[in-house]
Structure 1
């Protein structure tokens, strides 16, 4: 079993009368890349601040390597943070920005030079030691901020939306660089973002947050393929979410028809939500389709067409297909039982885990 490096035990955080985190319990394992994902105001940055020691908890405890750190000041924690605005010193050059933490520790100059050069090489900034921060691009500044974090060899690196200010092409490149860096160093990374694609691409595990609570945690594949509730399904990628009824194990009704599915363990005739991802829908002829829909509109997205359609029951459907359709025509939609994801409306994460375990044993 992997070693736990951070544990939150019944942690609550309030600001005056506002509850930001609600009785939160989770653990972070050593050497993994974690992402805290959620909309603005969900509590993800607050979690980072609590781990770093920049703010105090209201109730509960935080453990680092099994020891309470609730009242440990930031400079006593083996944790470094990369901020959204990078927080670099404009009056210092690249070398001195990266060396700043080492100088605070009164590290010998020879060791500082060696460590700074190693960190800059790792971040593809060889030869930039004398460069002024104000003369650097956004991507270069971000690399300096990361170099400053890793040069101190912390146990944990916290990253608070560090890619949000970069353009799309550079952001994608930096996602790959960060993931490779984490694997190479073996340091625990905790990354905050509201970008679902970023979280799916980079993470070993994702915590999906909303209104101060963890809605679901797991690997990117688990969360994408088996969302626990409507919020997760709607927030992670794009989804078709249709009201349905669980008739029996492996049988569900929605859009006016009965379909075979792979879900079990819900109550007979229970009202449920049905999730089918747009890329899991295949365009066919009307006769061959499990569902018949009318195309309402269509957008070309480069790698696929984004097709909006409606069925005879008035349900809206989003389809991602490499096949072009015609607005106004009737088409069929084909999908497999494995593409139907059934969610109980009042299902807890524990209930979901039990049902998923039962399904995996079938």
Structure 2
């Protein structure tokens, strides 16, 4: 394992009985000093991954390595990992200082060292001067900062965050996204963040693992995941998408919506059935003559910064459009899009197969 990889999962499965497998044959690596997000719907296995890293449970099969060392049997209190829970798990009878100092007192650090470390941790989370404040007197955002200070004061190599923003209102949640990202950059340690909120994942992460039914569907940077979804699940879960059936006529040419279009994807078989993805913001409302597709408007909602327009093409495919232009329900409009806006997905393709196809295609293109 490379020195830069701090965590490695090797064919890890977690089952509770013969009928309940929550994580199935999962392998991945976590690099040191990055912000990772485990993203997926409820029950997909993301919190299980977090608990396996923390040492709160052991894998049923496979191995987990920390800095190259097998840690399957290493208890939680022996790992250089701290967890920030969804409810923060603060002690209501202790003030801010004592909450942050709790772990250090358990380890029997000297009083002066504890005071210095707690004050430093509170400065990191912008709570300097709050040492004597009672937890009951803190806002939701402040409580979260206390929980993070308690995590970082022990100087862990990894901080695990289990949906810590879910209880906050929208404005505070957005503010805390920026604060958490900036804190991770200042600390320079690995953050592994669990959420089911795709906007949160896209905004905060260096890399995202998209989980579904105990498996990793796709991993990559936010841009990779958003622009190049591997399959329908990822395309549909990460943002809003128009997904329609199509046929790959040849490299760079795809047919859908009763028409044939130039695109930028290759490596498919001739006349292969595919799925085509176009994001709503990549569709431009234009005249019927200038449009590449003709759509009859079925509904329209104002979303503040744009109109959300829904319509259907001649084949009955539904199209969602985000536009600053208004449309009229019941009328036909033209939709224009660039070839780069079209993303073609092979049916049933895994991430590994996708990577191999892309590598083979790019290799053949370079040879030519």
TM-score by length of 1: 0.98
The equivalent position to 1:346 in structure 2, one of 345, 348, 351, is 348
Report if the CA contact (8 A) 1:33-1:190 is conserved: yes
Q: Give the 5 Å matches for 1:45-56.
A: 45-56=47-58
Deviation for aligned residue 1:350: 2.1
Greater alpha carbon shift after TM alignment, 133-142 vs 161-170: 133-142
Structure 1: how far apart are the matches of 2:284 and 2:202? 23
Report if the CA contact (8 A) 1:280-1:335 is conserved: yes
Q: What secondary structure sits across from 1:172 in the alignment? A: helix
The equivalent position to 1:299 in structure 2, one of 298, 301, 304, is 301
Number of residue pairs aligned between Structure 1 and Structure 2: 362
Deviation for aligned residue 1:136: 1.2
Give the corresponding residue for 1:14: 15
Deviation for aligned residue 1:356: 3.4
What do the CA deviations read for 1:20-49 (whole angstroms, capped 9, x no partner)? Answer: 111111000000000000000000000000
Greater alpha carbon shift after TM alignment, 167-176 vs 293-302: 293-302
Greater alpha carbon shift after TM alignment, 348-357 vs 154-163: 348-357
Give the corresponding residue for 2:67: 65
Deviation for aligned residue 1:351: 2.4
The equivalent position to 2:206 in structure 1, one of 185, 190, 204, is 204
Deviation for aligned residue 1:345: 0.4
Structure 1: how far apart are the matches of 2:295 and 2:10? 49
Give the corresponding residue for 1:333: 335
TM-score by length of 2: 0.96
Deviation for aligned residue 1:313: 1.0
Give the corresponding residue for 1:128: 130
Q: What secondary structure sits across from 2:218 in the alignment? A: strand
Deviation for aligned residue 1:283: 0.6
What do the CA deviations read for 1:123-167 (whole angstroms, capped 9, x no partner)? Answer: 111111111111211111111000000111100000000000000
What do the CA deviations read for 1:251-273 (whole angstroms, capped 9, x no partner)? Answer: 11101111111111111111110
Q: What secondary structure sits across from 2:312 in the alignment? A: strand
Report if the CA contact (8 A) 2:56-2:76 is conserved: yes
Deviation for aligned residue 1:359: 4.9
Give the corresponding residue for 1:162: 164
5+ residue gaps, structure 2, are none
What do the CA deviations read for 1:226-261 (whole angstroms, capped 9, x no partner)? Answer: 000000000000000000111111111101111111
- RMSD, aligned CA: 1.2
Give the corresponding residue for 1:91: 93
Question: Segments of 4+ in structure 1 off by > 4 A?
Answer: 359-362
Matched, 1:233 2:240: no
Report if the CA contact (8 A) 1:264-1:355 is conserved: no
What do the CA deviations read for 1:258-311 (whole angstroms, capped 9, x no partner)? Answer: 111111111111111000000000110000000011111111111111011111
Q: Give the 5 Å matches for 1:236-247.
A: 236-247=238-249
Deviation for aligned residue 1:325: 1.1
Deviation for aligned residue 1:204: 0.2
Structure 1: how far apart are the matches of 2:79 and 2:175? 30
Structure 1: how far apart are the matches of 2:49 and 2:178? 24
Report if the CA contact (8 A) 1:262-1:359 is conserved: no
